Amino acid sequence: MTTPAGTPAETSVATSADTFTALYGHAPDGTWAAPGRVNLIGEHTDYNQGFVLPIALPQAVRIQARRRDDDLLRLHSAQGDGVVVELRVAELAPGTVSGWAGYPAAVIWALRDAGHPVGGADVHLDSEVPVGAGLSSSAALECAVALAYNDLYGLGLSAPELALLAQRAENRFVGVPCGIMDQMASMCCRSGAALHLDARDLTIRQVPVDLAGAGLALLVLDTRVKHELADGTYAGLRADCERAAALLGLPALRDLDPAGLPAALGQLPGELRPLVRHVVTENQRVEAAVARLDAGELAALGPILTAGHASLRDDFRVSCPETDLAVEAAVAAGAYGARMTGGGFGGSVIALVDADAADTVAAAVTAAFRTAGYATPRTLTAVPAAGAHRIGQP
């Protein structure tokens, strides 16, 4: 029932190069890939300057690109309607490009806005990252373009610098006030490891995660729902967290010592208390998860994941009936633990299972969804994959 985590990006390079040449009449200068992600634990902590623990997925956005001498930007997507979008980079400005082309345009705008005098390019994009599944397809797209431009124009920017530019592109050009987790995961993750990221200073540590060695598997159950309130609600939650920190006289909620939590909650209006409780306890769960990974006790992550889901459901209130049911059904079927991953209001649930129980757990969730009248979830198995990289010469 479960499908392998995806075709390695390298296998379809030749096909994309052929498409590129057919589209533009010349070969690309190179091919790059940037992955989607699942976050193991640490949700809604990044914009509170706290901690996260994502892994990159094998599913990636591939980009074939060739630098141009003028400022024409030609964009084609294998997932688009077949049209080549033509833009002038000097004219890019927030609000001028919508749809999928807005993401590459946003990155090029952000590079120029930061003082990098980049020009045009011919671009072909092909994504394996499911859209709307909470697996960071947009960050993968942004990071793929950022890395390609870094090479095409010899910018010499580091992976964290490119992640920050991609985040700025999304914040300012696309208009989504996301934190830094998704772009840092796509740029900086390594194969076989989770990225322990301090979202305040971008300190990272690669924490080994050998699921197969422990006889485990990480299921990703895409609920195939994305509730409409997602975008405005995310911005509102972020603003509420920042208001709570200001009321407590702190730079960010990350600075609230867990020992001081009960007293701090007493100083806050009722509606902010559960949000603050989630952020503080979630940062603790990230540290607990890293300790378990360092100790080689991977199955012990399970209860931490499930506790994280309860906090997102009851305190932060970003789960929904579909993600709650997927978690409940997975745990009832024998998962060590499960939780929604990403921003919430739908998207995907992760479940930590014995490798030989993966099909049983996936089938139990599918059956529970059928009984509830929900769409059939899409199931992947995740293995920690590499972050953004150049994948060979065309």
Site for ligand GLA in 342-371 (CB under 6 A): 342-343
Rounded CA gap, 78 and 244, in Å?
44
Instruction: Indicate whether 44 belongs to the interface with ligand GLA (CB under 6 A).
Output: yes
Q: Is 50 in the site for ligand GLA (CB under 6 A)?
A: no
Asked if 24 touches ligand GLA (CB under 6 A), the answer is no
Backbone angles phi, psi at 312, to 5 degrees: -70, -35
**Given the rule CB under 6 A, which of 111-119, 122-130, 178-186, 358-366 is the region that contacts ligand GLA?**
178-186
The pair of structure tokens assigned to 195 is 């990225």
**Phi, psi dihedral angles at 343 (to 5 degrees):** -70, -30
Asked if residues 156 and 132 have their Cβ atoms less than 8 Å apart, the reply is no
CB 344 within 8 Å of CB 39: no
Contact 59, 79 (CB under 8 A): no
Q: Are 238 and 177 within 8 A, CB to CB?
A: yes
**Judging by beta carbons within 10 Å of its beta carbon (0-12, 13-18, 19+), is residue 12 exposed, middle or buried?**
middle
Nearer to ligand GLA, 165 or 391 (CB): 165
Tokens 């990159």 locate to 56
Nearer to ligand GLA, 121 or 237 (CB): 237
DSSP structure string for 156-200: ---HHHHHHHHHHIIIIII-----SHHHHHHHH--TTEEEEEETT
133 binds ligand GLA (CB under 6 A): no
Neighbours of 26 (CB within 10 A): 10
Q: Which amino acid, 138?
A: S
135 binds ligand GLA (CB under 6 A): no
Q: Binders of ligand GLA: how many residues, by CB under 6 A?
A: 10
- CB-based contact 77:63 (threshold 8 Å): no
Q: Are strands 204-208 and 193-198 parallel, antiparallel or unpaired?
A: antiparallel
Matching residue, tokens 């390019």: 121
**Smallest gap from residue 253 Cβ to ligand GLA (A):** 13
179 touching ligand GLA, by CB under 6 A: yes
Q: Should residue 181 be labelled a site residue for ligand GLA when binding is judged by CB under 6 A?
A: yes
Task: Examine residue 142 and tell whether it contacts ligand GLA (CB under 6 A).
Answer: no
Among residues 5, 9, 46, 51, the one that binds ligand GLA under rule CB under 6 A = 46
State the minimum distance, in angstroms, from the CB of residue 54 to ligand GLA. Answer: 9
Q: What are phi and psi of 70, to 5 degrees?
A: -110, -165
Cβ proximity to ligand GLA, 221 vs 333, nearer residue: 221
What part of residues 282-341 is at the interface with ligand GLA (CB under 6 A)? Answer: none
What is the closest distance, in whole angstroms, from the C-beta atom of residue 299 to ligand GLA in the complex?
24
Token pair in block for residue 119: 């020009």
Annotated catalytic residue 29? no
Stretch that binds ligand GLA, among 11-19, 44-52, 259-267, 309-317 (CB under 6 A): 44-52
**Closest CB to ligand GLA among residues 333, 388:** 388
Q: Which lies closer to ligand GLA via its Cβ, residue 43 or residue 122?
A: 43
Among 178, 194, 330, 357, binds ligand GLA (CB under 6 A): 178
Asked if 43 is part of the footprint of ligand GLA (rule: CB under 6 A), the reply reads yes
- Ranges within 257-286 binding ligand GLA (CB under 6 A): none
Binding segment for ligand GLA (CB under 6 A), chosen from 42-50, 90-98, 268-276, 283-291, is 42-50
**Residue 222 lies near ligand GLA (rule: CB under 6 A):** no
Q: Which of 182, 210, 294, 314 is catalytic?
A: 182
* Separation of alpha carbons 344 and 43, rounded Å: 9
Angstrom distance (rounded) from CA 188 to CA 182: 10
Nearer to ligand GLA, 47 or 149 (CB): 47
Q: Is 47 in the site for ligand GLA (CB under 6 A)?
A: yes
- CA gap 182, 187 in Å, rounded: 9
**By the criterion CB under 6 A, which residues form the site for ligand GLA?**
43-44, 46-47, 178-179, 181-182, 342-343
Show which residues are catalytic: 182
